[in-house]
């Protein structure tokens, strides 16, 4: 008998802004991803004030899935995908975010895409907000600092829930809602919450306020979604990267415990419906006086999620500094330190398959909900040799992670819904804006400079994953 249950959701994951292109097609508005330039591992992406002539904005065309979706979905079907995770670009539906009426051409695009997927028996898994909110909501409202964003998001979600109620069953509200918590850099705040730092602002307070409004919005749409279709499964989506203590020193252990709390309190709110005690104490000490009303607290309690979707790429190691004896809160300068026991990717990300099993256990113990691994994969350089792409490193990475997933299911009894490797087709990296940081099992001919024919080719990993799916995870050879 298979380790993985019948109906296990083997699939692939992407996000609208990283692969659709067509940034001005079908009435689409400008999203925050449209004002981010390309960078690389040493050069951060820039967020420009509007679209500037002469700049390279890699998400504008991306891999032009908008015009290639039939050809690409056909390849997904050939690979045997049971599900496909993507997001709905908010700006295709509400170009500015604050309109009264949705844009019919945008709605039609996703009707066409979902019909195409369903034609091959591929279940759509949809993220409502994946780093691509309308730019207008940033410039006019200050992003998620503003309570009004809740109404705009609820309207957007309600429109798409109603429209696709018979086509989509699996939803997630905010992609990696927690990745703004630890990394107080411009990139993560901008992509998650549409926040650009203002002078004199206590940015950490703004992050907590924005996060609160996002979680209220998420809890509201969970309730609305269940009314529109009681069969909807609506999940949270977390960036999961366990923090290991650097040593057996209890200070390091306490540091790692606090790092986990500081990263995953979002799940406490979204799964348990309330803030953890340690965080309320922290807000008090900081005198934040956040706008968290009693009505909000009722909404959070009533809108807990059905499952936890999460990304897993790497674990991290944290170390307490000498003077940390009381608070152990992550400081802005905190970075994870190297783990000498593990290899890293070309981009310096720690490769730790056992960390995935640990994450599955940790989440199960804490929340006792079904789990869905909705991102996992290796960003690597690929080379085309005589029309072929040999990527044994990617196969090894995926195989090692699936083996740990299998142990979590078989030995630890984790309830796992599915597995969708990230970037099933090459796309624009969110962190660096590069094309050459490739995750795909399908190659797309386009480079960092934006040159290439956009021609699609199957990598060796395509065939390998095809056989994994066909055997329901039994054949990993
Ligand atoms: C996750 C995001 O953070 O990691 C994706 O949900 C992103 O959008 C992925 O692409 C990989 O990160 P990167 O920076 O390599 O694209």
Question: How much is the pLDDT for 329?
Answer: 83
The predicted pLDDT at position 328 comes to 86
Query: How many Å lie between the centroid of ligand 1 and the Cα of residue 258?
Result: 24
Residues with CB under 6 A from ligand 1: 15, 18, 131, 175-176, 239, 311, 375, 379, 422, 429-432, 437
Ligand 1 pocket test target in 182, 430, 433, 448 with most atoms within 8 Å of CB: 430
CA distance linking residue 407 with residue 402, whole number of Å: 9
- Report yes or no: 32 and 441 within 8 Å, Cβ to Cβ: no
Q: Which of 431, 432, 438, 439 to mutate to test the pocket of ligand 1 (most atoms within 8 A of CB)?
A: 431
The CA-atom distances, in angstroms, between 251 and each of 78, 282, 328, 446 are 51, 19, 8, 47
Q: What pLDDT shows up at residue 75?
A: 98
Ligand 1 mean position to 228 CA, how many Å? 31
Ligand 1 atom closest to the Cα of residue 131 is 8
The torsion defined by the Cα of 35, 426, 71 and 20, in degrees rounded to 10, comes to -10
Architecture in CATH of 9-470: Alpha-Beta Barrel (3.20)
Pocket-testing residue among 63, 311, 421, ligand 1, by greatest number of atoms within 8 A of Cβ: 311
429 CA to centre of ligand 1 in angstroms: 6
pTM listed for this prediction: 0.98
**How, if at all, do strands 456-458 and 442-444 pair?**
antiparallel
How far apart are the C-alpha atoms of 396 and 402, rounded to whole Å? Answer: 10
Which atom number of ligand 1 is nearest to the Cα of residue 175?
Answer: 6
Predicted pLDDT at 184: 62
Concatenating the DSSP letter of every residue in 252-311 gives HHHHHHHHHHHHHHHHIIIIISS--HHHHHHHHHHT------HHHHHHHHH---SEEEEE
* Per-residue pLDDT tens digits for 204-242: 999 999 999 999 999 999 999 999 999 999 999 999 999
Q: Are 50 and 57 in contact (CB under 8 A)?
A: no
The neighbouring-strand residues paired with 416 are: 371
- Block means of pLDDT (10 residues each) for the chain, 477 residues, are 93 98 98 96 92 97 98 98 98 98 98 98 98 98 98 99 98 96 76 92 94 98 98 98 95 93 96 97 96 98 98 95 82 77 95 98 98 98 97 98 98 98 98 97 97 98 98 97
For residue 332, the model assigns a pLDDT of 60
Å from CA of 14 to ligand 1 middle? 9
Q: Which two tokens stand for residue 110?
A: 């996703």
**d(C-alpha 129, C-alpha 156), whole Å:** 10
C-alpha 264/C-alpha 274 separation (Å) is 13
**What's the confidence (pLDDT) of residue 333?**
57
């Amino acid at each position: 008998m298979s380790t993985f249950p019948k109906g296990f959701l083997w699939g692939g994951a992407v996000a609208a802004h990283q692969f659709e292109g067509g940034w001005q097609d079908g009435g689409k508005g400008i999203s925050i991803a449209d004002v981010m330039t390309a960078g690389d591992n040493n050069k951060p992406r820039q967020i420009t004030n509007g679209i500037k002539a002469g700049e390279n904005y890699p998400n504008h065309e991306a891999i032009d899935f908008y015009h290639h979706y039939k050809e690409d979905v056909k390849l997904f079907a050939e690979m045997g995908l049971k599900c496909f995770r993507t997001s709905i670009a908010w700006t295709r539906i509400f170009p500015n975010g604050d309109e009264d009426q949705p844009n019919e051409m945008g709605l039609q695009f996703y009707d066409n895409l979902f019909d195409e997927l369903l034609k091959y028996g591929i279940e759509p898994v949809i993220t409502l907000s994946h780093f691509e909110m309308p730019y207008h909501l940033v410039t006019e409202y200050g992003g998620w600092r503003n309570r009004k964003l809740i109404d705009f998001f609820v309207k957007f979600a309600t429109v798409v829930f109603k429209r696709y109620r018979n086509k989509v069953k699996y939803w997630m509200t905010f992609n990696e809602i927690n990745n703004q918590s630890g990394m107080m850099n411009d990139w993560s705040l901008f992509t998650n919450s549409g926040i650009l730092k203002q002078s004199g602002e206590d940015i950490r307070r703004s992050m907590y306020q924005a996060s609160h409004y996002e979680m209220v919005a998420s809890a509201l749409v969970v309730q609305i979604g269940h009314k529109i279709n009681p069969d909807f499964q609506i999940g949270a989506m977390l960036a999961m990267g366990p923090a290991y203590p650097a040593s057996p020193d209890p200070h390091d252990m306490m540091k790692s415990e606090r790092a986990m709390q500081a990263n995953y309190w979002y799940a406490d709110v979204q799964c348990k419906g309330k803030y953890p005690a340690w965080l309320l104490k922290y807000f008090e000490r900081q005198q934040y006086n956040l706008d968290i009303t009693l009505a909000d607290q009722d909404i959070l309690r009533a809108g807990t999620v059905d499952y936890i979707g999460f990304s897993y790429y790497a674990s991290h190691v944290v170390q307490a500094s000498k003077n940390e004896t009381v608070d152990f809160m992550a400081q802005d300068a905190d970075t994870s330190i190297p783990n000498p026991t593990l290899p890293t990717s070309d981009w310096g990300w720690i490769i730790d398959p056992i960390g995935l099993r640990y994450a599955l256990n940790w989440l199960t113990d804490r929340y006792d909900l079904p789990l869905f691994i909705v991102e996992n994969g290796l960003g690597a350089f690929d080379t085309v040799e005589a029309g072929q792409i040999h990527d044994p490193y990617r196969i090894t990475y995926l195989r090692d992670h699936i083996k740990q997933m299998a142990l979590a299911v078989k030995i630890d009894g984790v309830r796992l819904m599915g597995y969708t490797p990230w970037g099933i087709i090459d796309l624009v990296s969110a962190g660096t804006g590069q094309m050459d940081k490739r995750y795909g099992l399908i190659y797309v001919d386009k480079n960092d400079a934006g040159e290439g024919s956009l021609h699609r080719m199957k990598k060796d990993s395509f065939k390998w994953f095809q056989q994994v799916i066909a055997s329901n995870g039994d054949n990993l050879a």
